[in-house]
Structure 1
Amino acid sequence: MTLLEKDGVRVTADAEVATVTLAHPAKRNAQTPAMWRALAEAGRVLPGGVRVVVLRGEGKSFSAGLDRQAFEPEGFEGEPSFLDMARGSEAELDALIAEYQEAFTWWRRPDLLSIAAVQGHAIGAGFQLALACDLRVCAQDAQFAMRETSLGLVPDLGGTHPLVNLVGTARALEMCATGRFVHADEAERLGLANLVVAPDELDGAVADLSAALLAAPRNAVVETKVLLAGAAGRGYDEQRAAERAAQGRRLRDLAGLGD
């Protein structure tokens, strides 16, 4: 079932699994503000029964990052150019970037598990979009790079937080400041990739992982995701208390005593 198809984004759903596809292969799925709005809308059109969301890119690349037209003085038709953004007030600039970030924020919702299926290039905004997901399954030809600093910018689409959580501050700084490519084998060693497979095995590996994620009861998975997501911000005793509270809710639910 097709839920959305606009501005280089296609959303389909089959029972408990939805697929969000970047569908502009002629430009290696380069991203635009219109695509970001469509990606934000994708999170709003998902049926309540969806538990797993797969993010993929058509063609040889997952996403080559921001469409370079954004750097042209005229920018995109109907969109503020980078120069226009710079001339605006701080409040206007902040609000515009916050709007763009919405495309990257919903993938870690507690009621969903998201998987980025990455092949070829995942550069800049493409890297940040892959980082927005809970899990990443990569083809052996996957290449990640955070090129914003090389362009005089910073990663501003929500990617810095998960990157630091996955690889640590020093490694994240080195990757961002140099803009170098991180290939699939290194990504797996660093924890950026949960699994690396041959390119022709990518779809099958994602389908297998989706099935495995659906095997457990939804409420238990939701509680576990929330518990793990908050662990880094809690002390040991606080985390133990959070575990007790979550388990209490689960036991009451299993006993038919939930709200």
Structure 2
Amino acid sequence: MDRGGPVATVTLCRPHVLNAQTPATWERLREIGRELPGDVRIVVVRGEGRAFSAGLDLAAVSGGAGDGQPTFQRIAEADPAVAEQIIAGYQEAFGWLRRPDLITVAAVQGHAIGAGFQLALACDLRVLTDDAQFTMAEVTLGLVPDLGGTKRLVELVGYARALDLCVTGRRVPAAEAYAMGLANQVVGGAELDATVNDLVARVIAAPRDAVIEIKALLAAASERGYPAQEAAERAAQVRRIRDLAGLGE
């Protein structure tokens, strides 16, 4: 992780395997989430080289990840409750990116497959290069997406499109991803860094407490009816007005 003031950049650094992920990757991501300084406001997630992430390192499937972490074979042989606890630890690696006090941005080039797609989905915003492709490929291995991606995918594109992507494992090019709401922006490869930096600057320019309140309101909106959402808006606005008046807690 690199830090520049209120912005932290997390880079997957396995370009020789297109940033394929292993249990060790997830453990490090979980550690970063736990160690992140409280004054960080924005986290940018990116992949080194020509791909964001090719998903699961297949060595982890065969039991040869070589990193001392539980392999699929160990999960298969474990008591189901223990196996679910192992997967829960992997989910924590992505879950912290949804924290209400952070705005998280995925800068995606090339392939984002399986766990790579889910990592991008865990972020609040996604900026894609025009050669980027999303693929929910777990079904091709006889598996299900299990890193939080199913809920976010349905929220973004709806049930029918999410089902299509998950059960067919088809590739979604950048233009289609933008059209269906999976991408906030699509740019040429040479423009990715500048576009992400501009987005970060615009978020940083907004008052942090207002951004936190807005994210919380939007994140819960789909689960509330209008009366509950309006009540949440009222409470948030009173907190903001009191704070601006110097009367906040």
Which TM class, normalised by the smaller chain length? over 0.9
Partner of 2:73: 83
Deviation of 1:225 after TM superposition, in Å, equals: 0.4
Alignment coverage as a number of residue pairs: 249
Alignment of 1:20-169 (within 5 A): 20-169=10-159
Distance 1:77 1:201, change over 3 A: closer
TM-score (norm 2): 0.98
Partner of 2:177: 187
Partner of 1:235: 225
The CA distance in 1 between the partners of 2:71 and 2:155, in whole Å, is: 32
Deviation of 1:104 after TM superposition, in Å, equals: 0.6
Query: Contact 1:75–1:82 (CA<8 Å) still a contact in 2?
Result: no
Query: Contact 2:112–2:132 (CA<8 Å) still a contact in 1?
Result: yes
Cα deviation, 1:197-253, whole Å, max 9, x if unaligned, reads 000100000000000011111000000000110100100111001000000000000
* Other structure's SS at 1:39 match: helix
Deviation of 1:139 after TM superposition, in Å, equals: 0.4
TM-score (norm 1): 0.94
* Other structure's SS at 2:107 match: strand
Query: Contact 2:91–2:147 (CA<8 Å) still a contact in 1?
Result: yes
The CA distance in 2 between the partners of 1:65 and 1:86, in whole Å, is: 20
Structure 2 residue runs without a partner (length 5+): none
Deviation of 1:73 after TM superposition, in Å, equals: 4.2
Query: Contact 2:24–2:67 (CA<8 Å) still a contact in 1?
Result: no
Distance 1:51 1:75, change over 3 A: closer
Structure 1 residue runs without a partner (length 5+): 1-10
Cα deviation, 1:70-114, whole Å, max 9, x if unaligned, reads 121445342332122111111111100001111110011111100
Cα deviation, 1:105-145, whole Å, max 9, x if unaligned, reads 00111111000000000000000000000000000010000
Partner of 1:251: 241
Query: Contact 2:105–2:125 (CA<8 Å) still a contact in 1?
Result: yes
Find runs of 4+ consecutive structure 1 residues off by over 6 angstroms: none
Query: Contact 2:100–2:212 (CA<8 Å) still a contact in 1?
Result: yes
Distance 1:226 1:77, change over 3 A: closer
Aligned sequence identity (%)? 62
